[in-house]
Amino acid sequence: MSTTHRPYNFSAGPAVLPEEVLREAAAEMLDWHGSGMGVMEMSHRGKEFVSIHEAAERDLRELLAVPAHFRVLFMQGGGLGENAIVPMNLSRGGLVDLVVTGAWSKKSAGEARKYADVAIAASNEADGHTSLPAPSGWQLRQGAAYVHVCSNETIHGVEFGALPDLAALGSDAPLVVDCSSHILSRPIDWARVGLAFAGAQKNIGPAGLTLVFVREDLLDRALPICPSAFEYKTVAAHGSMFNTPPTYGIYIAGLVFQWLKRQGGVAEMERRAIAKARLLYGALDGSGGFYLNKVAHDGRSRMNVPFFLRDESLNEAFLAGAREAGLLQLKGHKSVGGMRASIYNAMPIEGVMALVDYLNQFARRHG
């Protein structure tokens, strides 16, 4: 390895965490705050962990300006799990409209069909998931229990710059948002949201924790088949303690929330995200066609940047050289191929600068 610093990890998830947080967790591994216990050893109902949990929720609410009429739930199952948990809680077995913009929203549609009458209100599948369907063209049904969007597609690199205003489109359905891979990188317009969820392993913490933000008026809609541990009303009534929550995941997330506050909060994360994305897309677009990002400019993700080499016979050499340079996990998702750099909040701009330097060097050698 040619670098003297820790390698830069561009994994899409589980993903990079702030080094400061990792060091803090390591220092507290055997003894959290003089308790004589590590966090993984604590009872989830003991005063020590309850204080960790309460601080994590308080900081998360502050960072995202979550309104008081939304409940914050710390759950399990990841984004894929929520694809089933959401329709079991909100669909009432009726109509669900879904906007397909990539692999994750397509999975969401498939799962929701087990519990509801699903219609695809709009899709970008015809162009290979490289653009965003304009909300003005969405086919929304009257009486839908909710409308589902994935606001950032991790695999295809498509991101909504703003959430759709369903009321302006003539729909009174609540908007459900899967924001797993860009949560805490930009504000959320809560006035347009009924429920938002996010697997933590992309931009917050370790796999195993899922965050759910649900408007209180939507809590009492679960289908009878919904397991008690996944029923939002039950989970909310027990303060996310109906069953044993993912305690260590909540602890690490809480440390990340504190780190984010020290950095300047979501506003600063958005500023950095814009700067990092501009730098990386600039290098790709300025490569003279050696590298290609296929996503329409107005739909490009700030978090997940897929790209292709013009000569794909160079892929293995590119990845081998990247590893040697301390640039890890750049291989694209198996379903689309190519490369992908995930530049989440914890990725410093120095990591993106190092990647850009490598992109330029590789293109000069092989162009």
Q: What share of the chain is helix, strand, coil (3-state, %, to 5)?
A: 40, 15, 45
Cα angle at 302 between 298 and 303, to 5 degrees?
Answer: 140
167 token code pair: 């009321």
Q: Residues 366, 311: contact at Cβ < 8 Å?
A: yes
117 catalytically annotated: no
Q: Report the chain's terminal Cα–Cα distance, integer Å.
A: 25
Q: Residues 327, 291: contact at Cβ < 8 Å?
A: no
Q: Residues 303, 273: contact at Cβ < 8 Å?
A: yes
What ranges make up the beta strands (E) of the chain?
Answer: 8-9, 70-75, 95-100, 117-123, 146-150, 152-153, 158-159, 175-178, 195-199, 210-215, 291-292, 304-309, 327-328, 339-342
311 catalytically annotated: no
| Active-site option among 104, 138, 233, 331 | 104
| Active-site option among 59, 97, 106, 202 | 202
202 catalytically annotated: yes
Q: Residues 259, 20: contact at Cβ < 8 Å?
A: yes
Dihedral sign (CA 233, 239, 242, 248): positive
| Active-site option among 178, 233, 259, 331 | 178
Q: Residues 168, 312: contact at Cβ < 8 Å?
A: no
Q: Residues 99, 175: contact at Cβ < 8 Å?
A: no
342 token code pair: 């995930």
The catalytic site residues sit at 104, 178, 202
